[in-house]
Each structure stands twice: as structure tokens, then as C-alpha cells.
Amino acid sequence: MTKVTSDIAFTAAVKAIQTEQGSRAAYAKMEQRGGWRTQVTPELAAFLAELDMFYFGTANAAGQPYIQYRGGSPGFLKVLDEKTLAFADFSGNRQYITIGNLSENAQAFIFLMDYVHSRRIKLWGQARVIEGDNDLEQRLQDPDYPARVERVILFQIEAWDINCPQHIHKRFPQKVIAPVIEELEAKIKTLEVR
């Protein structure tokens, strides 16, 4: 049996359940067309440039998963080349679960969510921690964020897929909502004066 990129998620157990539930044939057709993408496309790069948050998944050597929210200025998850993404790691709660997990298990997952446009992208790959690379740290430093970069996390893409928009609740960032609220408050004040 030929291995395809979606096999990173569609294990034998998953495929058996897909067969049982009636969805396997559709995914087999996708696999015949080549499976999931493995490199950054212009569309993915544009999506990343707009995104100001994502969820980063790791697991320890025993397989216990951990999901961490990552946020920053739009585009803080940067494309370094067609297979590599990177982001600056700043001081947080100092639990170091992600760093510890990556020290014993490089498998990682990035879940990208755009609540405004109901879009989500899943990326599977390998991640590693880079410390002491001043040039890379400078490249990833956000000039609008005063925290010092403690390290960099590199993510090598193995496969990625766009997930359906079904069941995504709309959420809007404060920078989108604030002007609308300010305009409404101004109108209310005008009406109260009358």
C-alpha cells in the first residue's frame, strides 16, 4: 500500500472507522489525487500573514497531549521557507510544558483558526526549539511587543489541510468591534442631547 500525506492522521484505525461510518470512499479519492499539501502555498502564506493567534499541540514521550494558545501581531507565525514556519517564544507562565514535550517528542500540530471568516487549517509536522540564534530571534521579534525573545520554535511541515467551515462560531477581534461600538456610543450621546 502506497503511503500518502494524509496517512499522518488517517491511521489504519481511523481508516477502519471511516469505512464503518461510510466516509472512507471520499477520502480514498482525495488520496488518489495526491493527498494533502506538504509545502507552503501563496494562499497559506497569505492566511498566516493575517493571523494573530493559533493553537500549538505537542505531546510528551508517553503520548500525553498538550495544547497551547499562541498570540501576537498579525503575521507573527512566519514562513521561513516552503517547508518551515517559525515563531518567537516569550516568557509566559514558566511551566515549560511545550519545551519539555519537544525535548522528548518532536511531533507537533498547529491549528490555525480564523473566526471572522470561518476558516481553519490543520498542520502536522515536527518542531524543535532553537536557543541563542540572535539573527533568527531578530527576524521574529515584534517591534510592537516589548518582551524579549527567549527562544524560537521551528515547525517543519509534513502535511496540511483546510478543514470545513461547518460549526465555526463567528468571533470578532476587539480592533474590529471597537470602532463600531464607538460609533454607536457617539450616536447614543447625540440622541440623548436631543
Indicate if the alpha-carbon torsion angle 30, 31, 33, 37 is positive or negative: positive
Quick one: average pLDDT of 14-35? 92
Model confidence at 101, pLDDT cuts 50, 70, 90, reads very high
Residue 193 has pLDDT above 90, yes or no: no
Residue 161 has pLDDT above 70, yes or no: yes
Please state, for a pLDDT cut of 90, what percent of the chain lies above it: 65
Are the C-beta atoms of residues 47 and 121 closer than 8 Å to each other?
yes
Q: What is the pLDDT of residue 167?
A: 62
**Residues 36-193, CATH architecture:** Roll (2.30)
> What pTM was estimated for this model as a whole?
0.85
Residue 169 has pLDDT above 70, yes or no: no
Residue 144 has pLDDT above 90, yes or no: no
From residue 63, give the alpha-carbon distance in Å to each of 1, 133, 148, 159.
27, 29, 31, 20
- Domain ranges for the chain: 1-35, 36-193
Per-residue model confidence as pLDDT tens digits over 102-137: 999 999 999 998 877 778 899 999 999 999 999 999
